[in-house]
Amino acid sequence: MVELTKVQPRVQPKFIMNATINVVCCKWKTLANGEVPLMLRICKDSKKKYQSLGISIPVKYWDFTRNKLKTNCPNREYIQKIILNKQAELQQRMLELKSEDREYTANMLLNDADKAVKHKTVGQFYQDLIQQYAVESKCGNRLIYKSSYNSLYTFTKGNLDIPFSTINASWLCNYEKWLRSKGNKETTMSLMLRTLRSTYNKAIENKYARKSDYPFNEYKIGKFDVSTEKRAIDKADMMKFTTDIPSVGKRQYVQLSKDIFMFSYLCGGINFTDIANLTSKNIVDGKRLHYVRQKTGKLIKLGLSDAALRIIERYSSDSHGYLFPILNVEIHKTALQKQNRIHKILSKVNSNLKLIAIQLGLNTNLTTYVARHSFATVLKKSGVNIALISEALGHSDLATTQIYLDSFDNEQIDDAMKNLL
């Protein structure tokens, strides 16, 4: 008995029909100067699309039999060059689409060719962007885009030598799955993808990517849950910070970590970066704190309690030009040097705060930002005007909160802050 072998059907390769590109002399469309325009005609899937070349000639200089300029046409070489360059643009875009195995229409071909892109890979564009932010001393932006670059570099196993057109909805879904597999939170995933989206938009603006390739109309970032859990401790727990804390070994910055946390709580939830940049010039009349918040550019004016003044005094002889021994005027001179130093010390401070939380019996993930939340929460529970502190202090609508704060005079704010201890 003869055994029959089942023949597997051959998978036919995807065939994409090429477009045809011709130049036509529109003799049916006489212009006011008596000349007729030359246009490109693109035929694809039995559909025609016309595009003006911005050229018109007297009809007698066009050879309709051979469909080209006659040899006696004035400026013949110049006109020919324009025609050939435009045809070359369209043919190049056709080749790109075909190599990417992408379907296209005549309309898409024309729109893409009108917005011809310069060559720069995703990796190159990111590196240039990061360098630009460094030169402009935009250290926060530099850090965010550097983190995004590092994440993408790891995801692609070091292969970011790809055009932006490679990043489509499917690619983004795979990146999201990879981020989840690494245990990233929704807020982190949202930040990474929003930064990539921002980079893609900048690439389009600078003509390194095409708007027609833009994948974020199909892939939606808004699906991520970016609401954060309330991070605050109550007044009774805050009072524990006024007591001596047992030693936590030889770790650096333990006392500083505790003092930074309390100072933030006592001074309107001032964040770590603003604390690090405070100098004696920010102390007014020996008892008030005036500073411009870096994140919003708003001037903040607060009264300093005795407890806050004692914290400042503790570091008065060892602060190297600042109120707290975080930055050093002799070492940290550029914006990038300051940003790197602040980032390094903040990491150490937050690590120490977690150990301090254990020592104090606090069941919370203690960071410097908890002090900001706690400031607002304690005042709210003390019956302070909600418009003054606002539920959104430092959370979902910081700008509105700051507008509210600016509308109150110093005495109102000072009276409210007497409820902190």
8 occurs within a structural domain: no
Last residue of a domain, one of 60, 91, 114: 114
**Element spanning 301, H or E:** strand 299-303
Residues pairing with 41 in the sheet:
22, 50
Find out whether 349 and 368 touch, Cβ atoms under 8 Å. Answer: yes
Distance CA 13, CA 16 (A): 10
Q: What is the pLDDT of residues 75-94, one digit of tens each?
A: 888 888 888 878 877 777 77
For 25, 196, 259, the CA distances from 256, given in Å and listed in that order, are: 80, 37, 5
Q: Which of 181, 213, 245 is the last residue of a domain?
A: 213
Q: Say yes or no: 398 and 252 in one domain.
A: yes
pLDDT single digits (tens) 150-203: 999 999 999 998 888 889 999 999 999 999 999 988 888 999 999 999 999 999
Question: Measured at the alpha carbon of residue 313, what is the angle toward residues 312 and 314, in degrees to the nearest 5?
Answer: 90
One domain, residues 263 and 398: yes
The predicted structure's pLDDT at residue 282: 93
**Statement to judge: residues 37 and 94 lie in one domain:** yes
My answer on whether 298 and 395 are in the same domain is yes
Residues 47 and 140 reside in one and the same domain: no
Name the residue range of residue 148's domain.
Answer: 122-213
Q: Does residue 405 have a pLDDT over 60?
A: no
Q: What is the pTM of this model?
A: 0.56
Beta-carbon count within 10 A of 234 CB: 11
Instruction: Please give the backbone phi and psi of residue 291, each rounded to the nearest 5 degrees, phi first.
Output: -155, 155
Report which secondary-structure segment, H or E, holds 260: helix 254-266
Residue 271's CATH number: 1.10.443.10
Same structural domain, 74 and 27: yes
- Report the number of distinct structural domains present in the chain: 3
Q: Please report whether residue 265 resides in a domain.
A: yes
| Cα 394–chain centre separation | 19
Q: Are 203 and 213 in contact (CB under 8 A)?
A: no
Start-to-end CA distance of the chain, whole Å, equals 97
pLDDT digits (tens, 9 = 90+) for 47-82: 888 888 888 889 899 888 888 889 899 888 888 888
* Same-domain pairing of 194 and 309: no
